[in-house]
Amino acid sequence: MKFKSLLTTAAIALGLATGAVAQDKTKVGFVYVGPVGDGGWTYEHNKGRLAVEDHFGDKVETVFVESVPEGPDAERVMTQMALEGADLIFTTSFGYMDPTINVAQKFPNVKFEHATGYKTADNVSVYSARFYEGRAVQGHIAGNMTKSNIIGYIGSYPIPEVIRGINSAYIHAKKVNPDVEFKIVWAYTWFDPAKEADAATVLIEQGADVILQHTDSTAPQAAAQEAGNVVTFGQASDMSEYAPFPRVSSIIDDWAPYYIARTQAVMDGTWESANTWDGIREGMVAIGEITEAVPADVKEEALALKAAMAAGEYHPFTGPLKKQDGSDWLAEGETADDGTLAGMNFYVEGLEGEIPQ
Amino acid sequence: MDLGEINPVLLVASLMVAATPLLLAAIGELVVEKAGVLNLGVEGMMIVGAISGFAISVETGSPWLGFVAAAIGGAVLSLLFVLLTQVALANQVASGLALTLFGLGFSALMGQSYVGVKPPSMGDIHIPVLSDIPVIGPILFQHDPILYVGIALTAAVWATLKYTRVGLILRAVGENHDAAHALGYKVIKIRVMAILFGGACAGLGGAYISLIRVPQWTEGMTAGVGWIALALVVFASWKPWRALLGAYLFGGITVLQLNLQAAGVAIPVEYLAMSPYIITILVLVILSADKSSAPAALGRIFHASH
Amino acid sequence: MIVLEKRPQPSKAWSYATPLVAVLATMVFGGVLFTILGKNPIEAIGTIFWEPLFGEFAFYYRPQLLVKGAPLVLIAIGLSLGFRAGIWNIGAEGQYIMGAIFGAGAGLAFYPLDAFYIFPIMVISGAFGGWLWAMIPAFLKVRFGTNEILVSLMLVYVAEQMLASVSLGLLKNPEGFGFPGSRNLQQYDSAHNAELIAGSGMHWGVVTALIAVIFAYVLLNRHMLGFHIRLTGEAPRAAKFAGVNPARLILFCLGLSGALAGLAGMFEVSGPSGVVSIDFNVGYGFTAIIVAFLGRLHPVGILLAGGLMALTYIGGEIAQSKLGLPAAAIQVFQGMLLFFLLAFDLLTNYRIRAARSEVA
C-alpha cells in the first residue's frame, strides 16, 4: 500500500509539473471502444470531440485513442493521457468502468467522465443518455405505421439499456395500437453488420413491417429498403441516407452539448462529480427529422410527445404499468425511479417471450 | 410461440444469401489448400476486397466494376502472402495471421472517407417464367447475380479439379510437391496461381458483404466470416459441392436461430451459435479415418534443391 | 537469375542480424506510410520505439511492457515446444479463455471467503481449464489422427461462445445491476493477482512467464524430452528409431501449451483485467503464434519478440494520442514489421546467389 501511494505522489508531482506547462490549453482525452469509422457509437462520440474543438478553438487540445479493448489496455491508455497532462478524460464504454475508477484514484487532479456506468468518485462523473425517451417517440410512430401489427426489434445483448428501450417503445406503440405485437431478436453481438442484416430479414419475413434496432449498422435499413414496405428508424446516427423511406425518423446520440459544458466547467474550475442522465430536454438525445412518409397527424402527435418530454411534463414510464408476470409495478400517475430503470431486467406486461439469461 | 410464422421458402432463400460470402471465400481457400498451401489470411483478404469493391463501385457507380476491383484487391493482398511463403519461404501459419492483421488495418485506412456512404445497388435478377414458379421460383430464381456466380464458381472448381489436367497437376502439387517437382511441374508457379485465385475469391466474398448483404462500409465489417470460411473448407473435406452444402448449413444455422427467436422459441443462443464448430470437429474426426481427403503437403514449405 | 541455396547450417550471424534488418526496413516503409498520412515520420517512429522505453514517462511504460508482454511470452513458450515437434496448436486463444473462466470461476465460488488457499486453487484451475481444452485436439489427434490445427482453431469459437454465456449467466455479478460481466477480482483480495511490488508491473503472470522461459530453455537443451521434441520436428524418421513415442509427445506438447495458455488467461483475469466479460479476450492467443515465430521458436528469442510486440502496442497507443495517428495505421505498421521479420528470416537458412546459366 505504501508503494502505491509513492507512485501516486510521483504521478501527482508529474501531473502538476506538466499541468503547469500546459496551463493555457485545456487538454481533453477521449478513449473509444471502437474505431471512429464504425458509423455508430464511437463515430458519434468522436463527433462530440470535434464539436469541443470547434467550440473552443485554440483554448483546447483534444486527443483520442480508438479501438481500445476493455481491461488493462484501457487502464494504460487513460493513465498515459493523464500523464501527458490531460485535464479531463472521457471514457466511452461501459466496460471501462473499473479501469476509470482505478486510474482516477492515481490522478486526483484529473477529471474523469465515464459513459453508461454507475461508479462515481470525487473526480469521476458518470453520464448517459435517456435513449428510452427517444424510444417512446419511435414506439408512437411505429404503433401508428404498422399495418401487420407486428413490430420487429433487434437487440444486441439482453442488458438493462436495451430492455429499457424495448419496454418504452412497446408501451407507446401499444397506447396507439392495442393489437400491436413485438418480435424480439437478440443478435448477441455489438457489431456484426451481416448478422444484423440477417436479423432484419428474418423479422420482415415473419411479418414485421416496422423494424426497431438497438444495433448500430445500417444493415437493417438496407434490408427494409429491399423489402419495400417496411419502416425503420435510424439508431445512434441519423442514417439519413435511407430517408425519407424506409427510415422515417431516428434517435441520435448527441454528446456535443455535454462535452462542451463539461470542458467549460473544467476551464472555469467549477467541475464537480455528477451523475448525469440527460435526455431530450438537455439535447443529449435528439430525434432525427420525421419524414413525409409519416402521416401529418402522427407526426404532430410524435412531436407533441417529444415536446412534453422536453418540457419535463411527461415521463415515458408513467403508471399504471404492470410487469410481464402481471404483478404491479407503477400505480396510476407514478413514474419510474432512476434506480429501477438503470437496472431494468424485466419486460412490461404484454410483451411476449423471456429475457434470455 | 408460433412456428407457423416461419416461412420455409423465404428461410431457404435468405440463407442462400447469408451463405454466399462464406461460399466464395471458402471455394478460393479450398483451391489454395488443394495446392498444399494453408493461408490463414482469408479474413484480411476479405476485408480488403470489401473496401476495394465498395470504393470502386461508389466512385464509378457500377457494382460490377466494384466486384472486379474486389477480386483484384484480394488478389493483390494475397500477393504479399506469395512473397512471404513462396519466395521467402516463411511459415504459412504465421504469414497468414500477419496478413489478416495487415489487411484489417489497411482496409480501415482505405475506407476512412467511405463511412456512411450508400453504395449503388445491384438489384436482383428475376429470371422470367422460372422466377414465377411457386416455391422453387423465390428460392432459386430471384437472387442477385453474384449469388449465381458463387454457385457457378463452385461448379467450375469442381469440374476443373476433377476432370482437367490443371486440376490434376494442382492436386499432385498439393499431395507431394517433391514428386510433382520431379515430374517437371512448376510447383511454385502453380501455388502462386492458386493463392492469387484464393485471394480474388476472398475479395469477392468480402465485397458481397459490403455491397449486397449489408450494404455499407464500416471498419472490421467482415466480423470473422473469413475464419468461418477456413472451418468450412475442412468441414467440406476439400470437396467443392460439400463446401456449398456446408456454407448453407453454416449460414443456415444463423438464419434459423434468428427465425426461432423471432417466432418466440426460447433457445440458448450461445449453444446454437457454437454448434457449427462442434459439427465441424465431428466431421473432422469422421474424416480422419479417411486419410486421402486432406492434401498431404498442406502447410509444408517447398524448396527445390537442384 | 537469382536462386536460393540452402545453407548446410543456419547462419548464426544472420539469425542475429535479420531482426535488426527487419526493424530497419519497417521503419523505412512505416515512415513512408506516416508521411502519406501527413505525420512527421521520424517523430512517429520515435514515439513508437523510443517513448515507452526512454521517454518522460518510461517509469510507467516499462512496467506496462511486462504486463502486456507476459501473456504473450507465456503462451508463445508453450506453443513453441509443440511447433518445434511439428504439433500445431493454433487454438491458444480458446485455451486462454477457458483458463480465465475456470480460474475466475474457482475464485468466485469462494466469494466472499478470505483464505490463503484460494489463489493457489485458482492457479491450478486455470491451468487445468487450458489443459482440458487443449486435450480435446490432443486426444482426437492421438486416437483418430484428426488434424489438430483445425480442431484447436474451431475450439476457439466454442470457447468464445462459452465466455459470452458465462458473462451473461453463470458468473454474472449479482450486484452488477444486470450488466454482463463478473465481479471484479481486483476487489476480492484472496483472489487478486496483485502486483508483487506496486508500480513494478510484476505480477504472478510475469513471474510465471519468466520461469517458463527458463524451463523451456533447460528442457530443450538439457533434457531428453527436449531432445525428442527437436528430433521429431527436424527428423521424424530418426525420432522413430530413437524410440520417441509420438502419442506421448503430442499429449505432452498440446497439454503443456494449453496449460500455459490457461495460466496466462487466469493471471490476466485475476490481475490486470479483473473481470470475466464478453470481450475479455483480446487476441493474445493469436498474437502469441506470431511471437513464437518471431522468436524463432527459441525461448530467449520469444522473450525478446514478446517484448517487441508489447513495445509496438504501447508505443502505438502513445502515437495515437500524441500524434493523432489512426489505430489502423498502427495495425498496418505492426503487419509490416511481421512481414519483414518473417521474410528476412530467409537469410538465416538460405544463401542468395546468382545462378549459373546451366542449372540442372
pLDDT digits (tens, 9 = 90+) for B32-79: 999 999 999 999 999 999 999 999 999 999 999 999 999 999 999 999
What digits encode the pLDDT tens for the residues B169-192?
A: 999 888 888 888 888 888 899 999
pLDDT band at C214 (very low <50, low <70, confident <90, very high): very high
Q: CA-CA distance, A56 to C29, in Å (whole number)?
A: 37
Interface of C with B in 22-41 (CB under 8 A): 37
Over range C199-205, report the average pLDDT. 84
Return the sign of the alpha-carbon dihedral for residues A206, A212, A213, A219: positive
Touching partners of B (3+ C-beta pairs < 8 Å): A, C
pLDDT score at A95: 87
pLDDT band at B290 (very low <50, low <70, confident <90, very high): low
Longest Cα–Cα distance of chain A, Å, equals 68
Contacts of B254 in chain C (CB under 8 A): none
Instruction: Tell me which fold the domain B3-116+136-287 belongs to.
Output: ABC transporter involved in vitamin B12 uptake, BtuC (1.10.3470)
pLDDT score at C232: 82
Classify residue C124 by burial, with Cβ atoms within 10 Å: 0-12, 13-18, 19+: middle
Q: CA-CA distance, C52 to C46, in Å (whole number)?
A: 10
pLDDT score at A290: 92
Q: CA-CA distance, B204 to B68, in Å (whole number)?
A: 8
Choose from A147-151, A245-249, B223-227, C328-332 the range with maximum mean pLDDT: A147-151
Contacts of C233 in chain B (CB under 8 A): none
Q: Is B4 helix (H, G, I), strand (E, B) or coil?
A: helix
CB contact under 8 A, A193 and B261: no
Q: Which stretches of chain A are DSSP H helices?
A: 2-21, 41-56, 72-83, 97-106, 131-145, 160-176, 193-205, 219-227, 256-268, 296-310, 338-342
Q: CA-CA distance, B259 to A154, in Å (whole number)?
A: 12
A323 in B contact zone (CB under 8 Å): no
**Cell numbers for B224:** 470473422
Q: Is A249 helix (H, G, I), strand (E, B) or coil?
A: strand
Over range C261-274, report the average pLDDT. 93
What digits encode the pLDDT tens for the residues C52-102?
A: 999 888 889 999 999 999 999 999 999 999 988 888 898 999 999 999 999
**Cis amide linkage into residue B295, ω under 30° from 0:** no
- Identify the CA nearest to B195 among candidates B78, B84, B40: B78
Burial readout A271-306 (b: 16 or more C-beta within 10 A, e: otherwise): beeeebbbbbebebbbbbebbebbeeebbebbeebb
Q: Would you say C2 and C345 are in contact if contact means Cβ atoms under 8 Å apart?
A: no
- Identify the CA nearest to A30 among candidates C315, C320, C329: C320
pLDDT score at C237: 78
A53 in C contact zone (CB under 8 Å): no
Q: CA-CA distance, C266 to C98, in Å (whole number)?
A: 9
Q: CA-CA distance, C40 to C42, in Å (whole number)?
A: 6
**Domain range list for chain B:** 3-116+136-287
CATH numeric code, C40-324: 1.10.3470
Q: Please enumerate in sequence order all residues whose Cβ is within 8 A of that of C223, keeping only pairs 6 or more positions apart, or say none.
A: none
pLDDT band at B241 (very low <50, low <70, confident <90, very high): very high
pLDDT band at B304 (very low <50, low <70, confident <90, very high): low
| Side-chain half-sphere CA neighbours of C16 within 13 A | 2
Q: Which of the residues C332, C346, C348, C357 would you substitute to probe the B interface, choosing the one with the greatest number of B C-beta atoms within 10 Å?
A: C332
pLDDT score at A189: 79
pLDDT band at B81 (very low <50, low <70, confident <90, very high): very high
Q: Percentage of chain B with pLDDT > 70?
A: 94
- Among B5, B116, B269, the residue with its CB nearest the CB of A188 is B269
Q: Please enumerate in sequence order all residues whose Cβ is within 8 A of that of B111, keeping only pairs 6 or more positions apart, or say none.
A: A37, B51, B54, B55, B217, B219
Domains of chain A: 2-129 (3.40.50.2300), 131-253+285-342 (3.40.50.2300)
Mean of all residue pLDDT scores within chain C: 88
pLDDT score at B305: 57
**Domain range list for chain C:** 40-324
Chain B: residue whose CA lies nearest to C163: B270
pLDDT of B294 higher than 80: no
What digits encode the pLDDT tens for the residues C149-195?
A: 878 988 998 999 899 889 888 888 888 777 788 888 888 888 888 88
∠ CA C185-C186-C192, rounded to 5°: 75
Residue ranges of chain A with per-residue pLDDT less than 70:
1-23, 357
> pTM of the full predicted structure?
0.87
CB contact under 8 A, A222 and B214: yes
CB contact under 8 A, B278 and C327: no
Q: Please enumerate in sequence order all residues whose Cβ is within 8 A of that of A162, keeping only pairs 6 or more positions apart, or say none.
A: A155, A156, A214
pLDDT score at B135: 73
Side chain identity, residue B66: G
Distances, alpha carbon B18 to alpha carbons A103, A138, B24, in Å? 44, 29, 11
For strands A328-330 and A321-322, give the pairing: antiparallel
Touching partners of A (3+ C-beta pairs < 8 Å): B, C
Which value does ipTM take for this structure? 0.87
Containing A126, the helix (H) or strand (E) segment is strand A124-129
Over range C282-291, report the average pLDDT. 88
pLDDT score at B221: 86
Smallest CA–CA distance, residue C188 to chain B, in Å, is: 29
Chain B: residue whose CA lies nearest to A352: B264
A63 in C contact zone (CB under 8 Å): yes
